[in-house]
Amino acid sequence: MSALTGTTRLARLVLRRDRIRLAIWILGTPLLGYALAGSVAGIYPDQEARLGYATTSASSLVARAFNGPIHGTDLGAVVVAETYVTLALIVGLLSTFAVTRHTRQNEETGRAELLGANVVGRYAPLTAALLVIVVANALAAVLLAVALVGAGLPLAGSVAAAAAIGGVGVAFTAIAAVTAQLSVTSRGANALAAAIVGLSFVLRAAGDVLGEQSADGTRVRSAWPSWISPLGWGNQVRAFDGERWWVLALPIALLLAGVALAYALAERRDQGAGLIAPRRGPTTGAPRLLSPSGLAWRMQRGTLLGWAVGVAVLGFSMGIAGDEFNDMIDANPAAAEAINAMGGGADLIKAYLAAMLGLFALTIGAYVVQALLRVRGDEADGTLEAALATAVSRTRWLGTQVLAATLGAVALLLLAGVTTGLGYGIVTGDPLGQAVELGGAALLRLPALLVIAGVVTAIFGLLPRWSVVLSWTTLLVFLLLGQLGAVLELPQAALNVSPYTHVPAVPAADPAALPLVVLAAVAAALLAVGVAGFRHRDVPS
């Protein structure tokens, strides 16, 4: 029997299990790319506006760190500078999570052992997962190229930009194949892969910050750290600026090397084990673990800490960037209109700060979804059944999970506002005052996050098998409508679907109590529906 026996059938199984996720991934990536490209084209419609953007971005260290290098004044170059990092991070994380789900998670839940009882080769499960995910990245890249061409961008540059983003997905597919061999748990494998994604972002940012600005001030040539980052490779393709096609060979080379290493590591471990030995815990558990709240905190604290570090760094950086915002506005009035549309105020600096807080609220919505979907994971792996066999009621258990996610969201919102205020206050001379003001403004976004928590809880209570797909899809819809809807000039009826639309854009606008009360009432109703559904449905063994 070959080590790859059964790969084709297992690939069909992967497609069967992930048919909805893959469809959203493959179709959602080009749709998001098309929407972002259209938005950027509206903000920078002429050569003068793009020249102002290019010179400002090339001279701004903050812009280089978060958006990457700019490669000229063509519309395509501006689109890539504004969208590449967002799309690349999404594709990279989707790829790593998908690999882990069909390799390490299968071993953790016992599915791999069940499949191994049939005629299945040693490498077949890993190979099947890699084949499907690489093909998914390729299809998403092809459709993204079509979407960019449809947005009015040149063909060659569109293909190069789409291939660069697809290459990021392929590169992190290889990395996840290795991390799945190292950790004994799927959460550990995902954490390792996500940490490498974060390190890649840092290396790319360092390379772009240390890069050299061209003589005309419209281009940046990255330094060497970008070349050791899979996220940096996509920028080095230089889409829409004399494309360097050979750079696309780097993610392919990493894929081949990663697969070979993953195969070698798989030979050195037993099924269900990892090469990194799990750390031994204490002989007796802490008394607080006997309560649902103590257990929820124990399970969430690592994730919350990781989010807190990222939010603090980004918040402080965005606050400092507020000082450079005036230069960008002077160079491009169209960008001022876009920020005003997102921030909702006549004072452009306050509109910028409001827009940044809105972006943080959208991002922290992902934390709420991630934290609450843990309940679905506990149900799927049998942990929930064991917990409910004790003196804990269903209502108390689910309520504790919702409370833990909500408190985490409160902490992250407050941290985002305070760090943004500190960064902006340092450059304006009032760090304490700005931290207090923006911290309070950030907390006003909480009712929107409560609605997200209510949606996830309702889906879990009524449609548990679809909870993962529907929850993330709902958040994506809210993101597109709440943040890009105003820029894309969508109808108000569509914008009203997102809870973020109804949150007052403080500090650019005056706070209003009625929308917040309505959002809180909607959230309470959704939470009640979710709890009622959970109480009256079966919990599978």
Start-to-end CA span in the chain (Å): 35
Q: Which residues contact 248 (CB under 8 A, 6 or more apart)?
A: 163, 164, 167, 237
Counts for the chain of helices (H) and strands (E), in that order: 22, 2
**Average pLDDT value for residue range 180-208:** 88
**Average pLDDT value for residue range 526-535:** 94
Band (143; pLDDT cuts 50, 70, 90): very high
Residue 34 has pLDDT above 60, yes or no: yes
| DSSP string across 26-76 | HHHHHHHHHHHHHHHHHHS-SHHHHHHHHHHHHH-HHHHHHH---B-SSHH
Residue 255 has pLDDT above 90, yes or no: yes
Percent of the chain residues past pLDDT 70, beyond the cut: 93
For residues 246 and 57, the model is more confident at: 246
d(C-alpha 452, C-alpha 313), whole Å: 25
Where do the H-state alpha helices sit in 444-507? 446-462, 467-479, 492-495
pLDDT at residue number 341: 57
In this prediction the pTM is 0.81
Max distance between CA atoms of the chain, in angstroms, equals 71
- SS3 assignment, position 397: helix
Residue 504 has pLDDT above 90, yes or no: no
170 with 251: CB under 8 angstroms? Answer: yes
The lowest-confidence range among 199-213, 224-238, 261-275, 481-495 is 481-495
- For the stretch 428-487, pLDDT in tens is 888 999 999 999 999 999 999 999 999 999 999 999 988 888 898 898 888 777 666 665
pLDDT at residue number 530: 95
Residue 62 has pLDDT above 80, yes or no: no
d(C-alpha 188, C-alpha 380), whole Å: 18
**Average pLDDT value for residue range 132-160:** 95
pLDDT at residue number 339: 59
pLDDT at residue number 331: 55
Mean pLDDT, the chain, rounded, equals 86
Band (234; pLDDT cuts 50, 70, 90): very high
pLDDT at residue number 479: 79
